[in-house]
Amino acid sequence: MPWSRRKLAPRQHVFLQGDDKNHVHLVKSGYLRLYALLSNGRRQIIGFKTAGDFVALESGSTYRYSAQAVSATELHTVPISAFFAVAADDPQFLLRLYNMVCDNLSAAHDLVVTIAKRDAEESMAAFLLDIEARALGRKGKSDFVSLPMLRGDVADYLGLTSETVSRIFTNFKKRGYIEVRGRHGIRLLNRRALREISDRNARDFS
C-alpha cells in the first residue's frame, strides 16, 4: 500500500472540515485534535488522536471535521482508494478497520456520557481519569501524564469554558487530588476521590 510521510507543526491542519476526503491518516507521533466548527462559530472538539490512531476511517466523501496538530506531529498518509482496495481484498484487514470504528463509536458514546453529566467537576474528573488511563498503556503508574492540549481544548471538548476548566484544576490541586507541573504535566494523587466525583449522584443523600 502506497503511503507518504508528513510532518506538522503545532496549529497546522491535516485537513479541514468540508475538504474532499482523499486520504486516511495514521498518527506516528505527536497529538491531533479533531474538531467541528459550529455554524455559530463555536468549536466542539470530538476527540484527540495520538500515536497509533487512525484518522478519517469514517464513510462519506468529505471530512466532517477538521484535524489539527496540537504539538509537532508526524503521520503517514494513504490514498483512500488504495486503502479500501486493500481492505476489499483482505476481509481480515477490513474486519480490523470495522473494529476500530466500533471503538471510535464507543469512545463517542463515552464522550456523550461525560459531557451530559452537566456538572463541570464530574466531567473534569472523568476526563482526567480517562486521559491517564489512555496514557497508562505506555508509562508506569503514579507518574506525570502529558496533557498536550490547552485548557481551551479541554473546555471545547467537555462543553465548558477555559475559565471553568482552570478553576477546577485549581480546586483539585487545593484538595490534593492532582499535582500540576507546567502547563502540560499532570499527576493524579487521589484517583479514588476523582472517581467518586466522576460517579457521584447529583442528588446526593449525604
Partner DNA sequence: CGGGTTATTGAATGATATCAACTTACGTGG
Partner DNA sequence: CCACGTAAGTTGATATCATTCAATAACCCG
With CB cut-offs between 5 and 8 Å by kind, which of its own copies, DNA, none does residue 169 bind? Answer: DNA
Tell me the longest C-alpha to C-alpha distance in the chain: 60
List residues near DNA by CB under 7 A: 118-121, 150-152, 159-167, 169-170, 180, 182-184, 202-203
In our burial notation (b when 16+ CB lie closer than 10 A, e otherwise), range 13-24 reads: ebbeeeeebebb
Measured from the CB of residue 63, what is the shortest distance to its own copies in angstroms? 11
**CA quadruple 183, 189, 191, 195: dihedral positive or negative?**
negative
Name 66's bridge partners.
Answer: 35
Contacting residue, 10, 18, 52, 91, with its own copies by CB under 8 A: 91
With CB cut-offs between 5 and 8 Å by kind, which of its own copies, DNA, none does residue 163 bind? Answer: DNA
The DSSP result for 171-199, as a single string, is HHHHTTSEEEETTTEEEES-HHHHHHHHH
Q: Is 80 in the site for its own copies (CB under 8 A)?
A: no
Which of 43, 50, 71, 66 shows the shortest CA–CA distance to 152? 43
Instruction: Count the site residues for its own copies by CB under 8 A.
Output: 44
- Hey, how many other C-beta atoms are within 10 angstroms of the C-beta on 3? 16
With CB cut-offs between 5 and 8 Å by kind, which of its own copies, DNA, none does residue 166 bind? Answer: DNA
Contact letters (x/-) for its own copies, 42-71, by CB under 8 A? x-x-x----------xxxx---xx------
Measured from the CB of residue 130, what is the shortest distance to DNA in angstroms? 18
**Closest CB to its own copies among 2 and 59?**
59
